[in-house]
Structure 1
Amino acid sequence: MNINSTLFFQAIVFLILVWFTMKFVWPPIAKALDERAQKIADGLAAADKAKTELAAANQRVEQQLTASRNETASLLADAERRAQAIIDEAKSRANVEADKIVATAHADAQQQLVQAREALRDQVAVLAVSGAEQILRREVNAQVHADLLNRLKTEL
């Protein structure tokens, strides 16, 4: 065999192999590579989209937290104001009740003072009659001298 013919047949076989590879093997490999590149590009786009959505979600969460904190602070301030108002109202009611109790006690003391004066007048009248009876050494009629005793009570 001749080396030229061998090289010629090897070149023809190589060209057939190249044609067969380009016709039947290369398109599925290129298609698989293109699909893989498309999947990677879609994955990166989805990751970027997810990253922006995460940032937006974090921002919404921060806004909601800020709103919740502000609402909580305002509710706390309202509660403190209501508590202070309740305390002030209770103090004013307690002062009014204390004034009523003092006024009632004062009225009771005045009434007891009047009753004590009346009792003292009665005792003084009885003592005066008893003293007059002993001075005169005779019996004094209490019914006859009732006017005298009543005048004496009013003067005392």
Structure 2
Amino acid sequence: MSINGTLIAQMIVFLILVWFTMKFVWPPITAALDERAKKIADGLSAADKAKADLAAANTRVEQQLAAARDDAAKRLADAERLAQQLVEEAKSRANEEGAKIVAAARAEAEQESVKAREALRDQVAALAVKGAEAILRKEVNAGVHAELLGRLKAEL
């Protein structure tokens, strides 16, 4: 055998090997590579979609948090306003009650003053009568004494 014959035989074997590889080995390998590329592309698109969904969800959450904060602030302001109103109402009621109590105390003090004056007048009249009785026991001038008692009573 010469180098040319061996070389031709090796070329024929090599061509059979290339044909066999391209016919039976290569298609499953390319199919597996294509399937893997498709899975990777699907995974990347799913990841992009998940990122977009996450961004949208974050936006919705931020909006809902902002709405909740606004609602809480409004409720707090309403509660403060209501508390202030209740305090003002309580103050006005307390002032009214205080004025009523002061007026009642003044009226009671006035009544006590009138009673004390009446009692004092009664006591003075009793003393005047005792004084007149003592005067009458010593002197008996009814006209002068009656006039004196009348003036004394008018002054009281």
Q: Same fold (TM over 0.5)?
A: yes
Name the residue aligned to 1:41: 41
2:98 equivalent to 1:98: yes
More contact order relative to length (CA 8 Å, sep ≥ 6)? 1
Residues 29-68 of structure 1, C-alpha deviations (whole Å, 9 max, x = no match): 1011001100110011011101111110111011111101
> Matched residues in 1 for 2:9 and 2:132: separation?
176
> Matched residues in 2 for 1:8 and 1:75: separation?
95
Q: Percent identity of the aligned residues?
A: 73
> Matched residues in 2 for 1:79 and 1:154: separation?
67
Structure 1: gaps spanning 5 or more residues: 139-148
Structure 2: gaps spanning 5 or more residues: 139-148
Name the residue aligned to 1:111: 111
> Matched residues in 1 for 2:94 and 2:65: separation?
42
Where does structure 1 differ by over 6 angstroms across 4 or more consecutive aligned residues?
152-155
2:123 equivalent to 1:137: no
Name the residue aligned to 2:67: 67
Name the residue aligned to 1:144: none
| TM-score after normalising by structure 1 | 0.87
Shift of 1:134: 1.2
CA contact (8 A) 1:125 1:153 kept: yes
The count of residues paired between Structure 1 and Structure 2 equals 144
Residues 88-137 of structure 1, C-alpha deviations (whole Å, 9 max, x = no match): 10011001101110111011011101110111011011100110111112
2:17 equivalent to 1:17: yes
> Matched residues in 1 for 2:76 and 2:4: separation?
101
CA contact (8 A) 1:122 1:153 kept: no
Shift of 1:3: 1.5
Residues 68-89 of structure 1, C-alpha deviations (whole Å, 9 max, x = no match): 1110111111011101100110
Distance 1:118 1:68, change over 3 A: same
> Matched residues in 2 for 1:155 and 1:122: separation?
13
> Matched residues in 2 for 1:6 and 1:153: separation?
171
Partner secondary structure for residue 137 of structure 1: helix
| TM-score after normalising by structure 2 | 0.87
Name the residue aligned to 2:89: 89
> Matched residues in 2 for 1:42 and 1:90: separation?
70
> Matched residues in 1 for 2:14 and 2:83: separation?
97
Name the residue aligned to 2:77: 77
